[in-house]
Structure 1
Amino acid sequence: MQFIENLPIFLLVFVRLTGFFLSAPIWANRQIPGPFKWGFSFFIALLVFGLIDFNDNVVIDGNYIFLVFKEAFVGLCLGFFAGILLYAVQLAGSFVDLQSGLGMATLFDPQTGVQEPLTGRFFYMLTMLFFLTVDGHHLLIHGIMASYDWIPVDTWIPEYASGNLVVLGLDLLKEMFWLAFLIAVPIAGSLFLVDIALGILTKTAPQMNLFVVGIPIKMIVHFFVLFAFLPGFFYVLGKLISSMVHSFSQILRILGS
């Protein structure tokens, strides 16, 4: 009977969790069926509803629909800002493939529904494996559950939060490009040196066919430096995940201030 009385609160909790799991890393994958996401959100909502104390003054009235939109907005923002830095690995793969000559060889990504570069796909798969290995999905679930302490379901978002969200988004974009540069610079820099060496060889031996010799050499250097760089890649991934956790805490402060 108490659950029926608090059903409006449970629906608000469910809406926030559904928005989060539709946009958060791993769960945003299109290969995960929609009923699984909704069912997972439902059972997590049951846990949150049983563990966190809520006010009993939420009723279904004219303002309730605005609370529903607010909860959906909060969930989508938390999931989007948590995963935006993970796109740095795909951006780094685009830089590398553009320099190595693999820019024309793309794969269809069923997660996003767009074409993506080969190296970017490889980086993204390694990132997801590393993210699951360090229990990053547990950190996200813990973060969305902690959001109810910062942003109660029956309170409104502060009016000055929109400007702070824009500033945070710009900072995350800057951080994303910086991390993509750190990931791509060893491989792209090595390929740039190969281009310089091939240019010198072309000047000293004009009869050499640059397209026949240069492309296989760049491919060999690309894969050699790629696998030699993997330890440094995982080090950058650690920095990326720590930045993601920091950005998650920042958006909680912005929306809950």
Structure 2
Amino acid sequence: MNILTLLPLFLLVFVRLTCFFVTAPLWMERQIPAPFKWGSAFFISLLVVGLIQPEQMIEMDSTFILLVLKEVLVGLCLGFFTNLLLYAVQLAGGFIDLQSGFAMATMFNPQTGIQENLTGRYFYILAMLFFLSIDGHHILIRGVLTSYNWIPIDGWLPSGVSENLVQLSLMIVKDMFWIAILIAAPIVATIFLVDIALGILAKTVPQMNLFVVGIPVKMVVHFIVLFIFIPVFIIVMEKLVQTMIHSLEQMLKILGA
């Protein structure tokens, strides 16, 4: 088998891996150079293409464009849905900052091009460090390589895939909000108790200016509880990674059923 015969197969593998690296966690960040993304996809494709054995020879005919579009859809879905769960930590930071008064102190993140909350960005950096510490990037690479066993390179997507993808996306969004609530609940509940205490103080000492006293108190409590909460955050991150792996498995079943 010569190189020209393997070229269509290589291009299909390269398209799926490139689309995955563009939307997957860690690789989607803007500080990761684009040559590194498609370079990783290129060299991994060289290693993988020899292990894939399609049922029939792939040729560059009229159906090849449809196969390329299918590979684009598969790669984007695998990367996007796994990355969607990581937004839970930023959402939790938004809940916390809204309660503690840091919501006014948003900063512009040049990596995403939007305004982000301080606590949400802090949680996201911790999540990335935890993800790297457990070799989460290796888990994602193994997941996308396993997709070739579930979704053949020369096969088509099953019927009803759009309906199943919508159901899976709703489940992932539900899990994202649930994990965000788990992360934010201890700090939000503590600050809520501080608000109750300040309200009682306002009734007993009406001459006190709570706007001057309340905001610094809530900020101090925010940092103290945040420091105490870090071990709990790691436990919740383990739950998030397990949910991410489960979602990836469900995605492979839907696209390859």
Same fold (TM over 0.5): yes
Rounded to whole Å, the distance in 2 between the matches of 1:141 and 1:225 is 36
Rounded to whole Å, the distance in 2 between the matches of 1:20 and 1:26 is 11
Percent sequence identity over aligned pairs: 63
Contact 1:13 1:49 in 2 (8 A): yes
Rounded to whole Å, the distance in 1 between the matches of 2:150 and 2:7 is 21
Q: Which residue does the alignment assign to 1:108?
A: 108
Contact 1:67 1:154 in 2 (8 A): yes
**SS at the partner of 1:108?**
strand
Deviations 1:174-203 (A, max 9, x none): 000000000000001100110010000001
Structure 2, gaps ≥5 residues long: none
Contact 1:6 1:56 in 2 (8 A): no
Deviations 1:34-66 (A, max 9, x none): 111111110011111123323342111111111
**SS at the partner of 1:103?**
helix
Counterpart residue identity of residue 193, structure 2? L
Q: Which residue does the alignment assign to 1:53?
A: 53
How big is the shift at 1:239?
Answer: 0.3
Contact 1:97 1:103 in 2 (8 A): yes
Equivalent runs, 1:191-206 vs 2, <5 Å: 191-206=191-206
Equivalent runs, 1:240-255 vs 2, <5 Å: 240-255=240-255
Q: Which residue does the alignment assign to 1:149?
A: 149
Compute the RMSD of aligned alpha carbons.
0.9
1:79 maps to 2:68: no
Rounded to whole Å, the distance in 2 between the matches of 1:10 and 1:121 is 38
* TM-score for the superposition, normalised by structure 2: 0.98
Contact 1:31 1:110 in 2 (8 A): no
Deviations 1:67-98 (A, max 9, x none): 11110110000000111111000000000000
Contact 1:28 1:111 in 2 (8 A): no
Count of matched residue pairs: 257
Equivalent runs, 1:131-210 vs 2, <5 Å: 131-210=131-210
Q: Which residue does the alignment assign to 2:239?
A: 239
Counterpart residue identity of residue 32, structure 1? I
1:2 maps to 2:8: no
Counterpart residue identity of residue 63, structure 1? T
Q: Which residue does the alignment assign to 1:13?
A: 13
Q: Which residue does the alignment assign to 2:127?
A: 127
Deviations 1:98-157 (A, max 9, x none): 000000111222332111100000000000000000000000000000000100111111
Q: Which residue does the alignment assign to 1:92?
A: 92
1:62 maps to 2:62: yes
Q: Which residue does the alignment assign to 1:228?
A: 228
Rounded to whole Å, the distance in 2 between the matches of 1:111 and 1:146 is 30
Contact 1:23 1:80 in 2 (8 A): yes
